[in-house]
Amino acid sequence: MATRPMSHIEQVCADKGMKMTEQRRIIAHVLSEAHDHPDVEEVHRRSAAEDPRISIATVYRTMRLFEEAGIVKRHEFGDGRARYEETPATHHDHLIDVRSGKVIEFHNEEIERIQQEIAQAHGYKLVGHRLELYVLPLDAGKATEE
């Protein structure tokens, strides 16, 4: 109902000729605004805040749709549920503070290059990779497990 400007993702969906329901519009907006890596429940929470007539099933279906369309990227940071971010223009990997759960993005050209080399050396073509660094604050050495 609100005629707010089209979010980036909504624009992409429209360009792809997707049927744009109010639910999709809202989820697209939520994801476009997100600067973190929300899980489905969180996306649902934020979406429901904009319009309560939206079910978690729809969020699941839409995340899958968006993922398969390359609109969002799914991550599994080891906490059992999937986390999403809008497909980034520039590739990056993640550094996860295991104490706070905070996620920092980084990119390292050298690592990217070496990965390619490794794949090729084994007779393969690199089609994807996952690199996550699990870390603890330097100033908090001992108090935690693992």
Question: Residue 39 or residue 132: which is nearer to DNA going by CB?
Answer: 39
| 37: nearest Cα among 108, 90, 93 | 93
Residues 28, 13: Cα–Cα separation, whole Å: 9
Question: Residue 52 or residue 123: which is nearer to a copy of itself going by CB?
Answer: 123
Within 10 Å of residue 66's Cβ, how many Cβ atoms? 24
Question: Minimum CB separation from a copy of itself for residue 52, in Å?
Answer: 31
- Tokens (6 digits) for 28: 């697209």
Q: Using the rule CB under 8 A, give the single segment among 21-29, 39-47, 53-61, 119-127 that binds a copy of itself.
A: 119-127
- Give the CA angle between residues 10, 11, 12 to the nearest 5°: 90
Who's near 1: CB < 8 A, 6+ residues apart? 22
Choose from DNA, a copy of itself, none: what does 49 bind? Cβ within 5-8 Å by kind.
Answer: none
Place of tokens 């503070």: 97
Residues 14, 143: Cα–Cα separation, whole Å: 50
Q: Using the rule CB under 7 A, give the single segment among 29-37, 55-63, 105-113, 123-131 that binds DNA.
A: 55-63
Contact flag: residue 57 with DNA (CB under 7 A): yes
Q: Using the rule CB under 8 A, give the single segment among 11-19, 57-65, 83-91, 105-113 that binds a copy of itself.
A: 105-113
Choose from DNA, a copy of itself, none: what does 5 bind? Cβ within 5-8 Å by kind.
Answer: none
Place of tokens 């993922």: 67
Contact flag: residue 112 with DNA (CB under 7 A): no
Binding site for DNA (CB under 7 A): 18-24, 39-41, 53-58, 60-64, 80-82
